[in-house]
């Protein structure tokens, strides 16, 4: 029997509700309806009084979560789509993220962001916000790419005393399956080498890990062996594992689904340039989405985001420098 | 919506009113000192005073019980903070940058708080504390400790225009939380007058739209405040759901001490709400035989000394040391060597 990525997210929440009386779930349509993506299906019935439907008020949802955390609870807030967290931006970056530094009192909230693009979702249901939140001090930003990580990193997220932005990729929800939720569990702050290689390193996270692996597969027939590093968390960022990989391969491509200006891939490239310039045999490359809103039409969308084909193109450029 | 007349009388009210007045006095004398320190260049950053709002703020603070209730002050709530139980030294340490203050130099002036004691530390983004207080009450409900508790916050007329105010108050109403939101309508949001801020006749009309209780009060009148604000707190405490109180008054200072408020027309300054609530309160206490003039003068002297001590102590204390500062915004330390 296989487990999907979204099963893992649901199971993690069930485990947390079962084992920790401080945990409650809050979000739009997450109660009887089970959430827009069914990540909370059946949890209201299993845990009455612990799962609450919220009004369509993203700002107030996070305000409520921070207040609850001050009172010692551990809320998990589901944003219906990561895109809508922009309405809660103030509460996330100014209220939650500054709270511990200012007052000495941590606010353990977990904000689940259904992230990234799927065909036909368009400009307002496709965004990748991880780089924006990672820019602010006081937040931990997680980007699980496997079923096991989806489960264990959500468990870890709630265990932190600090606010966590948990970016779950919508494309992976039902597409990604595993035999069990128990993969090799790594601590937060440690990246994973998901495929070894010697000619170039691709650093990716979330759904882009799978696109990078497919790109690596297709280059194998030409004799190129590509190493793929899954960052797992973009903040903290495990630059050691990245540097160690670049030391082996001499070449770096950072792939992210987010918009191209700044962000996670820029951070990776700049840190490698800073700390590992001598390791590089070619200029490090970045590959992101295009610098437009995420388009609706599947043909435009497929050309907007990094794909195995476009990652291959970037890799060929890198490998032949 | 009702505009209530003061009806309080009797011995219990005597103690309540004396207590409110005492907090008003402490706030006023402390803030006069802060203003002098600012003008002498002794305070870095802004100084924001509650002059003119003391009757409202102190009444609210006195109506709440620290240890049980939540009080989320905004920038003009020195009197409410004092009434709720904040020691003056928390204020002077924060304004003067002492490392021993509640914010340890990491945040300043009116952004201080002690969330573990039921006083959240405000952020500058107006309206944000409404949902936060709602969250504290929501959590108490989940924990089973909500009974008899009230959460209160003050905001201004300007903050009533924010989305955060709307979202927060609506959420509190949906959850029927025991919450009191006091809008101190001091007629100007920084320099912007009411007619550029909202179009309804009185902000209290908004209560009907949220399905919550609404009361209006003359914020310059201590007896009226004591009657109306305590009633709002009582209703919330007894399960009546959120209560909106709109207090009409005039800010008797600039937005901050850097601001001369020259945009406030003379006719408003000389109008009814331009009167000083502290003078009104003193007259009311004396007329109703709740205190004598001599008593009040004695309080003034005591408070002035208390303020001097709080300032002197904070001034002697060292500020934060950037070399010893823990430059981490997270409470967690990652074990993986260079993860950051």
Residues A108 and A166 in one domain: yes
Q: Who among A72, A103, A138 is closest to B113 (CB)?
A: A103
Mean pLDDT of chain B: 95
One domain for residues A43 and A172: yes
Q: Is residue A301 part of a domain?
A: yes
Q: What is the pLDDT of residues A79-95, one digit of tens each?
A: 999 999 999 999 999 99
Q: Does residue B332 lie within any of the structural domains?
A: no
Q: Is B106 on the interface with A (CB under 8 A)?
A: yes
User: Which residues on chain B are in Cβ contact (under 8 Å) with A71?
Assistant: 135-136, 139-140, 143
Catalytic one of A125, A152, A199, A210: A125
pLDDT surpasses 70 at B3: no
Supply the ipTM of this predicted assembly.
Answer: 0.97
List the one residue out of B324, B147, B105 whose CA is nearest residue B238.
B147
Partner-chain residue, chosen from B133, B137, B171, that has the shortest CB–CB distance to A57: B171
Task: With respect to residue B325, please indicate whether it lies within any of the assigned structural domains.
Answer: no
pLDDT at B335: 79
Residue B4 has a pLDDT of: 42
How many domains in chain A? 2
Residues of chain B with Cβ-Cβ distance to A97 below 8 Å are 329
Chain A residues within 8 A of B164 when measuring between CB atoms:
59-60, 63, 90-91
- How does pLDDT run across B48-98, given as a tens digit for each residue? 999 999 999 999 999 999 999 999 999 999 999 999 999 999 999 999 999
Q: What CATH number has the domain bearing residue A56? A: 3.40.50.970
Confidence of residue A183 (pLDDT cuts 50, 70, 90): confident
Q: Report the distance separating Cα A231 and Cα A265, nearest Å.
A: 11
Tell me whether residues A67 and B171 touch, CB distance under 8 A.
no
Inform me whether the pLDDT recorded for B6 exceeds 70. Answer: no
Number of domains in chain B: 1
Residue range A116-165, pLDDT digits in tens? 999 999 999 999 999 999 999 999 999 999 999 999 999 999 999 999 99
Q: What angle do CA B228, B233, B239 make, to 5 degrees?
A: 130
pTM of the model: 0.96
Which range (A171-175, B3-7, B68-72) has the least confidence?
B3-7
B130 to A100: CB separation less than 8 angstroms, yes or no: no
What is the interface size between A and B, counted as CB pairs within 8 Å?
A: 159
Q: Tens digits of per-residue pLDDT, A201-213?
A: 999 999 999 999 9
Q: Show the 3-state SS of B235-254.
A: HHHCCCCCEEEEEECCCCCC
| Spatial CB neighbours of B297, under 8 Å, sequence gap ≥ 6 | none
Q: Is the previous residue joined to B261 through a cis bond, with omega within 30 degrees of 0?
A: no
Residues A131 and A201 in one domain: no
Could you report the per-residue pLDDT of B224-258, keeping only the tens digit for each?
999 999 999 999 999 999 999 999 999 999 999 99
Interface test with B, best of A70, A188, A239 (most B CBs within 10 A): A70
Residue B11, pLDDT > 70, answer no
B322 falls within a domain: no
Could you tell me if residue B336 is inside a domain? Answer: no
Tens digits of residue pLDDT in B256-282: 999 999 999 999 999 999 999 999 999
Beta strand spans in A18-107 (E): 23-27, 51-53, 74-78
Q: What is the pLDDT of residue A242?
A: 98
Grade residue B336 by pLDDT with cuts at 50, 70 and 90. low
Q: Which residues contact B234 (CB under 8 A, 6 or more apart)?
A: none
Question: Is residue A184 in some structural domain?
Answer: no
Judge contact between B160 and B192, C-beta under 8 A: no
Residue B12's pLDDT band, with cuts at 50, 70 and 90, is: low
> What gap in Å lies between CA B257 and CA A54, rounded to an integer?
41
B79 min Cα distance to partner chain A (Å): 21
Q: What's the token pair of residue A119? A: 């065909």
User: In terms of domains, do A65 and A162 share one?
Assistant: yes
Domain contains B222: yes
Chain A residues close to B129, C-beta within 8 Å: 63
Residues in chain B closer than 8 A to A238 (CB atoms)? 336, 338-339
Q: Do A190 and B136 touch (CB under 8 A)?
A: no
CA neighbours within 13 Å on the CB side: how many for A106?
Answer: 20
Classify residue B330: in a domain, yes or no: no
- Same domain? A278 vs A302: yes
- CA A2 to chain B, closest CA, distance in angstroms equals 32
Pairwise CB contact (< 8 Å): B142 & A68: yes
Buried b (16+ CB within 10 A) or exposed e, B30-54: bbebbbebbeeeebeebbbbbbbbb
pLDDT over threshold 90, residue A293: yes
| Residue among A70, A87, A94 minimizing CB distance to B125 | A94
> Which residue of B132, B155, B168 to mutate against A (max A Cβ within 10 Å)?
B132
Question: Is residue A240 one of the residues assigned to a domain?
Answer: yes
Q: In this complex, do B131 and A59 lie within 8 Å of one another by their Cβ atoms?
A: yes
A196 with A161, same domain: the answer is no
Question: How far off is chain B from A220, nearest CA to CA, in Å?
Answer: 32
Which of A102, A138, A272 should one mutate to test binding to chain B, selecting the residue with the greatest count of B CBs within 10 A? A102
pLDDT of residue B5: 36
Q: Look at the block and give the residue holding tokens 């937005």.
A: B255
B153 shares contact with chain A (CB less than 8 Å):
no
In angstroms, what separates the C-alpha of A280 from chain B's closest C-alpha?
Answer: 20
CATH of the domain at A315: 3.40.50.920
pLDDT (tens digit per residue) in B133-160: 999 999 999 999 999 999 999 999 999 9
For B107, name the nearest residue in chain A, comparing CA atoms only: A102
Model confidence band, residue B1 (pLDDT cutoffs 50, 70, 90):
very low
Domain assignment present for residue A258? The answer is yes
Looking at the structure, do residues A162 and A216 belong to the same domain, yes or no?
Answer: no
> Which of A171, A237, A231 has the alpha carbon at shortest distance from A201?
A231
A161 and B332: CB-CB below 8 Å?
yes
Residues A261-287 have a mean pLDDT of 98
Name the residue facing B128 among A95, A106, A240 (closest C-beta).
A95
pLDDT confidence of residue B9: 46
Token reading at A34 = 């089970």
Q: Does residue B277 fall inside a structural domain? A: yes
How does pLDDT run across B159-182, given as a tens digit for each residue?
A: 999 999 999 999 999 999 999 999
- Please, are residues A257 and A305 in contact by the beta-carbon 8 Å criterion? yes
Which CATH number characterizes residue B23's domain? 3.40.50.970
Candidate from B116, B128, B140 with C-beta closest to A105: B116
Give the residue among B189, B177, B187 at the shortest CA–CA distance from B153.
B177
Residue B239 contacts A where some CB pair is shorter than 8 Å? no
Residue A13 has pLDDT above 60, yes or no: yes
A287 is catalytic: no
Tell me the residue range of the domain where B246 lies. Answer: 2-316
Same domain, A303 and A197: yes
Domain end residue (candidates: A178, A204, A230)? A178
In a domain, B140, yes or no: yes
Best mutation target, B90, B104, B115, to test chain A (most A CBs within 10 A): B115
Residue B338 has pLDDT above 80, yes or no: no
Question: Given A178, A200, A227, which residue is the final one in a domain?
Answer: A178
Domain that holds residue A201: 192-319
Q: Is the Cβ pair A73, B142 closer than 8 Å?
A: yes
């Amino acid at each position: 029997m296989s487990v999907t990525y979204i099963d893992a997210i649901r199971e993690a929440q069930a485990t947390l509700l079962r084992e920790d009386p401080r945990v409650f779930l809050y979000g739009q349509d997450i109660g009887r309806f089970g959430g827009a993506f069914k990540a909370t299906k059946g949890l209201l019935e299993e845990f009455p009084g612990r799962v609450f439907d919220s009004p369509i008020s993203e700002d107030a949802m996070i305000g409520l979560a921070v207040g609850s955390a001050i009172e010692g609870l551990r809320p998990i807030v589901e944003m219906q789509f990561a895109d809508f967290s922009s309405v809660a931006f103030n509460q996330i970056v100014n209220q939650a993220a500054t709270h511990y530094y200012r007052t000495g009192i941590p606010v353990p909230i977990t904000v689940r962001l259904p992230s990234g693009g799927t065909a036909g979702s368009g400009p307002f249901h496709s965004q990748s916000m991880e780089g924006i939140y990672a820019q602010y001090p006081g937040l931990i930003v997680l980007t699980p790419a496997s079923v096991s990580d989806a489960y264990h990193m959500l468990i870890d997220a709630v265990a932190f005393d600090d606010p966590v932005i948990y970016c779950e990729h919508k494309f992976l929800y039902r597409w990604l399956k595993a035999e069990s939720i128990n993969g090799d569990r790594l601590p937060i702050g440690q990246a994973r080498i998901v495929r070894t290689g010697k000619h170039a390193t691709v650093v990716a996270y979330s759904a882009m890990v799978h696109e990078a692996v497919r790109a690596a597969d297709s280059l194998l027939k030409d004799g190129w062996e590509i190493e793929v590093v899954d960052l797992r968390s973009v903040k903290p960022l495990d630059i050691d594992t990245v540097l160690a990989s670049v030391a082996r391969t001499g070449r770096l491509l950072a792939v992210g689904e987010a918009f191209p200006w700044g962000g996670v891939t820029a951070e990776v490239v700049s840190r490698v340039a800073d700390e590992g310039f001598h390791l590089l045999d070619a200029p490090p490359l970045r590959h992101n989405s295009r610098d437009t809103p995420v388009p609706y039409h599947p043909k435009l969308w497929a050309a907007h985001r990094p794909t195995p084909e476009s990652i291959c193109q970037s890799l060929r450029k890198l490998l032949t420098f | 919506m009702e505009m209530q007349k003061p009806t309080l009388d009797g011995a219990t009210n005597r103690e309540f009113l004396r207590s409110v007045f005492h907090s008003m006095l402490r706030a006023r004398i402390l803030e006069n000192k802060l203003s002098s320190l600012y003008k002498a260049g002794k305070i870095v950053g802004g100084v924001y005073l509650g002059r003119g709002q003391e009757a409202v703020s102190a009444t609210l603070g006195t109506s709440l019980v620290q240890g049980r209730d939540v009080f989320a002050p905004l920038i003009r709530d020195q009197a409410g903070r004092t009434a709720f139980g904040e020691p003056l030294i928390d204020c002077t340490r924060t304004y003067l940058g002492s490392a021993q203050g509640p914010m340890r130099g990491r945040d300043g002036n009116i952004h201080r708080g002690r969330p573990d004691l039921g006083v959240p530390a405000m952020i500058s983004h107006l309206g944000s504390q409404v949902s936060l207080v709602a969250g504290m009450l929501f959590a108490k409900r989940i924990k089973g400790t909500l009974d008899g508790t009230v959460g209160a916050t003050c905001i201004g007329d300007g903050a009533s225009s924010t989305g955060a105010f709307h979202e927060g108050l609506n959420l509190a109403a949906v959850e029927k939380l025991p919450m009191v939101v006091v809008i101190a309508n001091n007629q100007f949001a920084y320099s912007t007058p009411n007619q550029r801020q909202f179009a309804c006749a009185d902000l209290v009309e908004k209560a009907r739209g949220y399905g919550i209780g609404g009361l209006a009060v003359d914020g310059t009148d201590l007896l009226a405040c004591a009657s109306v604000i305590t009633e709002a707190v009582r209703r919330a405490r007894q399960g009546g759901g959120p209560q909106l109180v709109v207090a009409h008054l005039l800010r008797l200072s600039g937005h901050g001490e850097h601001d001369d408020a020259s945009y406030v027309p003379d006719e408003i300054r000389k109008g009814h709400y331009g009167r000083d609530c502290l003078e009104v309160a003193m007259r009311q206490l004396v007329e109703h035989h709740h205190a004598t003039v001599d008593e009040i003068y004695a309080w003034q002297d005591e408070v002035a000394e208390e303020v001097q001590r709080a300032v002197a102590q904070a001034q002697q204390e060292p500020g934060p040391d950037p070399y010893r500062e823990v430059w981490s915004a997270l409470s967690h330390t990652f074990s993986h060597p260079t993860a950051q």
